[in-house]
Amino acid sequence: MPEKSLRLALQRYIPQSLDKRQTNAAPAFFFCQPVYCPSPLFFKAYMSTLSTRHFLNTSSRLGLGLVLGLMLGACGKTEAPVAASVTAPVESRVYVVGTDAAYAPFESQNASGEIVGFDIDVVKAVAAKAGIQVRFVNTPWEGIFNALNQGDRDLLVSAVTITTERRESMDFSAPYFDARQLIAIRGATEISKFTDLKTLKVGVQNGTTGDEAISKLQGKTSTNIKRFESTPLALKELEAGGVDAVVADNGVVVHYVNNNAGAKFRTVADNSFAAEQYGIAVKKGNTELLAKLNQGLAGIKADGSYAKIYTSYFGAETVAPAAAASAAASAAK
Ligand code: ARG
Q: Write out the chain's pLDDT in tens, 333 residues.
A: 343 443 333 333 333 333 333 333 333 333 333 333 334 443 333 333 333 333 333 344 444 444 444 444 333 334 444 444 555 578 899 999 999 999 999 999 999 999 999 999 999 999 999 999 999 999 999 999 999 999 999 999 999 999 999 999 999 999 999 999 999 999 999 999 999 999 999 999 999 999 999 999 999 999 999 999 999 999 999 999 999 999 999 999 999 999 999 999 999 999 999 999 999 999 999 999 999 999 999 999 999 999 999 999 999 765 544 333 333 333 333
Q: Which ligand 1 atom is nearest residue 207's CA?
A: 12
User: Which of 242, 248, 249 lies closest to 224, judged by CA?
Assistant: 242
What pLDDT was estimated at residue 40? 41
Quote the ligand 1 centre to 45 CA distance (angstroms): 54
- Ligand 1 proximal residues by C-beta, below 6 Å: 100, 103, 107, 141, 158-161, 205, 208-209, 249
Domain 94-178+276-332 and domain 181-268, same fold? Reply is: yes
Q: Which of 107, 156, 157, 209 to mutate to test the pocket of ligand 1 (most atoms within 8 A of CB)?
A: 209
What pLDDT was estimated at residue 88? 59
Protein residue with least CA distance to atom 12, ligand 1: 208
Q: Which ligand 1 atom is nearest residue 166's CA?
A: 4
Q: Which of 118, 160, 173 to mutate to test the pocket of ligand 1 (most atoms within 8 A of CB)?
A: 160
Protein residue with least CA distance to atom 7, ligand 1: 159
Quote the ligand 1 centre to 249 CA distance (angstroms): 7
Quote the ligand 1 centre to 99 CA distance (angstroms): 10
What pLDDT was estimated at residue 317? 63
Angle at CA of residue 73, ends 70 and 74, nearest 5°: 85
Which CA distances in Å does 51 have to 54, 58, 60, 324?
5, 12, 11, 65
What pLDDT was estimated at residue 32? 33
Using CA atoms, how far apart are residues 210 and 179, in angstroms rounded to an integer? 11
CB atoms within 10 A of CB 146: 13
Quote the ligand 1 centre to 111 CA distance (angstroms): 22
Quote the ligand 1 centre to 26 CA distance (angstroms): 34
Quote the ligand 1 centre to 145 CA distance (angstroms): 11
Quote the ligand 1 centre to 160 CA distance (angstroms): 5
Using CA atoms, how far apart are residues 300 and 319, in angstroms rounded to an integer? 20
What pLDDT was estimated at residue 89? 72
What pLDDT was estimated at residue 270? 98
Quote the ligand 1 centre to 319 CA distance (angstroms): 15
Check if the beta carbon of residue 117 is closer than 8 Å to that of residue 105.
yes
Please indicate, yes or no, whether the overall pTM of this predicted structure exceeds 0.75.
no
Q: Which of 158, 230, 255, 278 to mutate to test the pocket of ligand 1 (most atoms within 8 A of CB)?
A: 158
Q: Which of 161, 215, 233 to mutate to test the pocket of ligand 1 (most atoms within 8 A of CB)?
A: 161
Which contacts of 36-40 are long-range, i.e. CB under 8 A and separated by 24 or more positions?
36/71, 36/74, 36/75, 36/78, 37/71, 37/72, 37/75, 38/71
Domain 181-268 grouped into CATH 3.40.720.10: no
What's the fold here for domain 94-178+276-332?
Answer: D-Maltodextrin-Binding Protein; domain 2 (3.40.190)
Q: Which ligand 1 atom is nearest residue 158's CA?
A: 10
Cis peptide before 105 (omega within 30 of 0): yes
Instruction: Tell me the domain boundaries of the chain.
Output: 3-79, 94-178+276-332, 181-268
Using CA atoms, how far apart are residues 34 and 24, in angstroms rounded to an integer? 17
Quote the ligand 1 centre to 240 CA distance (angstroms): 23
